[in-house]
Amino acid sequence: MTETIKIKRGFNINLAGKAEKQISEINPSETYAIKPTDFLGIKRPKVLVQEGENVKAGSPLFYCKMMDKVKYTSPVSGEVVGIVRGEKRKLLEIRILADKTIGFESFKKYSVSEINNISKKQAADLLCQSGVWPHIIQRPYGIVANPDEDPRDIFISAFDSNPLAPDYDFILQNQEPYLQAGIDILKKFTSGDVHITLNADSEFSKIFSHLKDVKLHKISGPHPSGNVGVQIHHINPIRKTDLVWTTTPYGMMQIGKLFLEGKYDASKIIALAGSEVKEPRYYKVISGVQVKKLLQNKIKSDNHRIISGNVLTGEKIKMDGYLGFYDHLLTVIPEGNQNELFGWFKPTFEWLSFHKALGLFSFLNSGKKEYTLTTNTRGDKRAFVQTGVFEQVMPMDIYPTYLFKSIMAEDYDEMEALGIYEVIEEDVALCEFVDVSKHNLQQLVRKGLDLLQSS
């Protein structure tokens, strides 16, 4: 294991409502959904099923015409009851009315010893056919990886430093055989290394630290230390001509489970957290679960916001909405739709702020207090103000302020020179949080990446 990477720039958002390490049971959801909008890089998805058709877990539902060998499959067995489209017939969701007992498509099963003899093509074909491949993401651009390309390296962050994030060591306990099998498969796709980064500020990982044929790293510091983009930057940065892949620990486990069991098992353990949750804890669900039953009688008030994911990068959903494909966290916080007397001018210790602004004393409680935050931004969008604050929370050797301006100007050469290939939305989420100008910087970075990808 290499020396610990120490980062100082960043900011921990310590929210109230962290999930207790206790796994509870819930009644199964009636419907599940897969949302093409969860998968960046999909263009013109082609639907393969019709309403009323019966499918199994692992049955293909749609694919992207630009990368047709990668199939996006059903998480459960049952009847297709909805193909939901938006403006210009954009595909938003495919909904499945689940069977009481899940039936699975059968894929070829391998023993641990047989995995070593699988070719790269065999591995890619099975991953693409089963629906597990979308767990592999390409950098730059942060899109679903192309199985026909060869990455320089593969990176996995073994922890999440986002607010209220679940503990991977807890949700993946007893999954070591699948994790190791996932590593053995991923190794077939690169002539470089598979890198796993551990959190140096927490207890020694009993799961990830014992994996073989990987390069282990440790990193310490505030959020976004758990972002794989930050880790790549400090281990082996991405240049214009580089191609690297990333996945999550859950994605790695899904890969291993597919090969060892011969089926696409989309079950996962998620954290239900946030200050509006009565008893924050963990639940075993299936990917794409409708959150209605999960949240029933578990929310403190009616004035709340439900977020699939974390408060920085997650998606706002309704009570009858569905958990995102990549999410292991469901967050519920108060909705910030009420005006407050004197606003930001009011002296208080109750608001969390990175800025030492008039009236906000939260910096005195840094790392000590848990905060109950609403969705109120306490300000409207205004002219781009240069404060130097972005550089204080961005632990990469790039200049975020100038990068954002180059994207606004659509200056391709400047974007490349200023490091856009190293970032995706999650890497600038803290910049958006501390931005006094209230710009949607994550959306701005996606615009820049899309411009470069299409050029």
Instruction: Give me the pLDDT at residue 56, please.
Output: 98
Tell me: the pLDDT tens digits for 366-420?
Answer: 556 788 877 776 566 666 666 789 999 999 999 999 999 999 999 999 999 999 9
Mean pLDDT over each residue of the chain, to the nearest integer: 92
pLDDT at position 348 is 46
Quickly state the pLDDT bin for 206 (edges 50, 70, 90). Answer: confident
Mean pLDDT for 125-145 is 98
**How many C-beta neighbours within 10 Å does residue 344 have?**
15
Q: CB of 220 within 8 A of CB of 3?
A: no
122/105 Cα distance (integer angstroms):
18
Phi, psi of 406 (to 5 degrees): -65, -35
Give pLDDT, residue 374. 77
Q: pLDDT (tens digit, 9 = 90+) per residue, 326-342?
A: 999 999 999 976 655 44
Spatial distance between the Cα atoms of 382 and 221, rounded to a whole number of angstroms: 32
In terms of average pLDDT, the best of 33-47, 178-192, 336-350 is 178-192
Q: H/E element holding 453?
A: helix 441-454
E strands within 129-266?
137-139, 143-144, 154-157, 194-199, 215-220, 244-247
* pLDDT beyond 90 at 436: no
List Cα–Cα distances, 214 to 183, 186, 196, 211, in angstroms.
8, 10, 7, 7
Cα separation, 36 vs 63, in Å, equals: 9
pLDDT confidence band for 44 (50 / 70 / 90): confident
**Cβ within 8 Å of residue 48, ≥6 positions away:** 60, 61, 62, 63, 71
- Give dist(CA 31, CA 76) in Å, integer: 9
Distances (CA, A) of 362 to 344, 350, 352, 399, 448: 12, 7, 5, 27, 34
Q: For residues 104 and 258, is the Cβ–Cβ distance under 8 A?
A: no
User: What is the per-residue pLDDT for 359?
Assistant: 44
- Residue 379's pLDDT is 60
Helix 441-454 vs helix 400-408: crossing angle, to nearest 10? 60
- pLDDT above 90 covers a percentage of the chain that reads 81
pLDDT at 342: 47
Residue 361: pLDDT over 80 = no
Q: What is the pLDDT of residue 363?
A: 52
pLDDT at 355: 54
CB 281 within 8 Å of CB 24:
yes
Q: What is the largest CA-CA distance in the chain?
A: 68
What value does the mean pLDDT take over residues 429-453? 94
Q: 431: part of which helix (H) or strand (E)? A: helix 429-434
pLDDT-above-70 percentage for the chain: 91
| 3 state DSSP class of 206 | coil
Closest listed residue to residue 252, CA positions, set 343, 184, 321, 160: 184
User: Does residue 103 carry a pLDDT above 80?
Assistant: yes
What confidence score (pLDDT) does residue 353 get?
A: 62
Closest CA to 354 of 3, 14, 1, 127: 14
Rg over CA atoms, the chain? 22
The DSSP string of 169-191 is HHHTTT-HHHHHHHHHHHGGG-S
Enumerate the H helices of 93-153 as residue ranges: 112-115, 120-130
Residue 240 has pLDDT above 70, yes or no: yes
